[in-house]
Amino acid sequence: MDDQYKTHGVDSHEEDIAMKKLLHWIDPTFNFRTGLGKNLLPIGFFANVIDLGNGTGIAISMDGVGTKLLIAELLQQYDTIGIDCIAMNVNDLLCVGAEPVSFVDYIAVSKINEKQIEGIAKGLYEGSKLANVNIPGGELAQVRELLHPGEKSIDLIGTAIGIVENNKIITGKNLQKDDVIIGLHSSGIHSNGLTLARKLLLDPVNPSIELLTELLKPTRIYVKEVMALLHQEVKIKGMAHITGEGFLNILRLSSPAHYIIEDLPPVPWIFDHIKKAGQLSDVEMYKDFNMGVGFVLIIDKNDLSRCCQILHEQQSQYTVLGYIQTSETKRIDLLPKKIYSCGNNFEYSG
């Protein structure tokens, strides 16, 4: 997958090098605050938590919509990308056990287009309703020199905050043998892997409206069901938002553990199209795409029945994927596909 992405202009190796240089200067800022405002987690989780005192923390995340915006440009349809922007942020907050409460947006345009802005605003409204957050402010900037009309005339980024009790932060630190892995189904491609998907599906052909509409389908927001589980005290030990890096996102949980995946949900048809168009292997597909699983829960085995009941009540589609085995290292085995994680990649077993 790395080679495929590099061919299409995304070099993950160079990104890793640049990230190390970035963190060389960012990591020391953790020492600027002690007590009130102190970082409670290292960089690497889906969101960080800042100490507010009195046992309460504020979780914070930031993300954008990425090249999915180019699909919106092709269709001239902007009323769902706001949902994506909120989803990418609030789903990350959930992973540390935080309840999302607020969101702010940054909209950059090459030129003001009222219809375009209204569409984005509609999506932000719908996303905020689904996530149960407010939007207390934001920024609308005209930056003609930074964008390229005809290719990309907008950019959309957001920041979300949530609240969590410091002693209830979830990082996957206490995973145990036989803990259960549950996958909440995705709505499709969500907002990751669009650079490769566009190159494989759109460049060689004149894409159908059906295909473009499927690529634009908004990212599923998991706030309702996850908060229902947390409020009813289901023992959730770890959570992972399946975004870029696909199933490898599970390895961001802190405990060394062996994740045994025995079952997988049906794969949305868009992924079959991508796989066929690029002649991609399962190793490549499961490294970068969600493949039908947008969010993963690790729960205590004794809570499985109650967890499934709550998910059913919330009308949340899910699959019981597998279980945890103890291990001194982190590893994922996708048994149905006969692949396993090796470092930051997947390989075929046997």
User: What's the pLDDT score for residue 10?
Assistant: 57
Confidence check: pLDDT of 12 > 70: no
Is residue 55 very low, low, confident or very high in pLDDT (cuts 50, 70, 90)? Answer: very high
Q: What is the mean pLDDT of residues 212-225?
A: 98
Residue predicted with more confidence, 203 or 88: 88
Rounded distance, CA 253 to CA 239, Å? 8
User: What's the pLDDT score for residue 206?
Assistant: 82
Return the structure tokens found at 278.
């690029």
User: What's the pLDDT score for residue 145?
Assistant: 87
Confidence check: pLDDT of 150 > 80: no
pLDDT tens-digit series, residues 278-328:
999 999 999 999 999 999 999 999 999 999 999 999 999 999 999 999 999
Q: Within the chain, which residue ranges are assigned CATH 3.90.650.10? A: 180-348
Confidence check: pLDDT of 1 > 50: no
User: What's the pLDDT score for residue 211?
Assistant: 95
Rounded distance, CA 233 to CA 327, Å? 27
Residue predicted with more confidence, 11 or 158: 158
Confidence check: pLDDT of 267 > 60: yes
33-168: CATH superfamily: PurM-like, N-terminal domain (3.30.1330.10)
Q: Within the chain, which residue ranges are assigned CATH 3.30.1330.10? A: 33-168
Max mean pLDDT among 12-21, 147-156, 288-297 falls in 288-297
Q: What is the mean pLDDT of residues 77-93?
A: 98
User: What's the pLDDT score for residue 5?
Assistant: 53
In the chain, pLDDT over 70 holds for what percent of residues? 95
Specify the CATH class of 180-348 in words: alpha beta
User: Are the C-beta atoms of residues 106 and 253 closer than 8 Å to each other?
Assistant: no
* C-alpha triplet 338, 16, 324: angle, nearest 5°: 35
Please report, for residues 91, 96, 130, 317, 326, the alpha-carbon distance to residue 127 in angstroms, rounded to integers and kept in the order given: 12, 20, 5, 19, 38
